[in-house]
Amino acid sequence: MFFEFGIKDAIDITLVALILYYFYRLMKESRSLPVFMGILVFIVLWLVVSQVLEMKLLGSIMDKLVSVGVIGLIVLFQDDIRRFFYNLGAHQRVKGIRRFFTGEDGRKKEEDLKPIIIPIVMAALNMSKKKVGALIVMQRSMPLDDVANTGEMIDANISQQLIENIFFKNSPLHDGALIVEGKRLKAAGCILPVSHEQNIPKSLGLRHRAALGMSQDSDCIAIVVSEETGGITVAIDGQLQLRLTAEKLESILTEEMM
């Protein structure tokens, strides 16, 4: 017998299609697309065996594999699942709902941000002129304690001279990332997760990949000064903004930190 097809069924199918498409994009970006396609093939076979052909023995075996496989998939794709829920929670509408219920303003005054932003911008500008490589991560709402613990704790006031000294070529901390939390330089020489995006220009180095990876895993702002070209780059929400001037960098930081 044919079942009645209503608007609820259309919405149901549409939502499933959107979810599958989103996971397809997620797996493609993380180079796990063959695994995703394999899972889809297994699900189709499972439905055919258990629902269409009604093979009880084979169907029960595949049912057990599905129940156990869910746990395996969570372990296998824990980073992708974490990124999915982070992107969901970081959406602007979700943030607005959170501020509505918590009563948080979520905005900072521009004059309060200047003592934080100006030294960082000036340091980036000077290092750009001298072609000194640098990687600075500015924390926003998401704590970065786990990343800060991979480096050396500094807990110092934000200073242009101190930032430039940290990334001086003979400094033991110049290869890692500098973490900025609030009005303090929290830690230096920190190790960041590296992005495996395939569409990153080949001219960009490991610092850019680390900045992009950090911006994909958190809501931070990552600033990169290229050692080869002196170019200034910002990574925000998994996107790179290249070849920035000091004025543009200041504008971006002010807007994003507010």
pLDDT the model gives residue 147: 92
Query: Is 201 within 8 Å of 224 (Cβ atoms)?
Result: no
pLDDT score at 253 = 95
Amino acid at 164: E
Identify the helix (H) or strand (E) that includes residue 257: helix 246-257
Least confident piece of the model among 13-27, 124-138, 170-184, 211-225: 13-27
Residues 6+ apart with CB under 8 A from 124: 134, 136, 223, 225, 232, 246, 249
Query: Which of 87-91, 96-100, 199-203 is predicted least confidently?
Result: 96-100
Percent of the chain past pLDDT 70, that is, above it, reads 78
- In whole angstroms, what separates CA 118 from the centre of its chain? 25
Q: Which of 13-27, 56-70, 89-103, 183-197 has the lowest mean pLDDT?
A: 89-103
| Mean pLDDT, range 167-183, rounded to an integer | 91
Q: Mean pLDDT check: name the lowest of 26-30, 110-114, 153-157, 253-257.
A: 26-30
Residue 44: the pLDDT is 82
Long-range pairs of 82-87 with CB within 8 A, sequence gap ≥ 24: 82/217, 83/26, 83/216, 83/217, 84/22, 84/26, 86/217, 86/218
More confident residue, 83 or 71: 71
List the domain boundaries for the chain.
7-89, 110-257
> Tens digit of pLDDT for each residue in 71-82?
766 766 666 666
pLDDT of 162 > 60? The answer is yes
> How far is the C-alpha of 185 from the C-alpha of 189, rounded, in Å?
12
Looking at per-residue pLDDT, the higher value among 80 and 38 belongs to 38
Q: What is the pLDDT of residues 105-122, one digit of tens each?
A: 555 666 788 999 999 999
Lowest mean pLDDT among 12-21, 96-105, 133-142, 190-199: 96-105
pLDDT at 233: 97
- Average pLDDT on 88-97 reads 54
Give domain 110-257's CATH architecture.
Answer: 3-Layer(aba) Sandwich (3.40)
pLDDT mean over 44-58: 79
User: How much is the pLDDT for 153?
Assistant: 95
- Which residues, 6 or more positions from 253, have their beta carbon under 8 angstroms from its beta carbon? 113, 117, 120, 121, 138, 221, 234
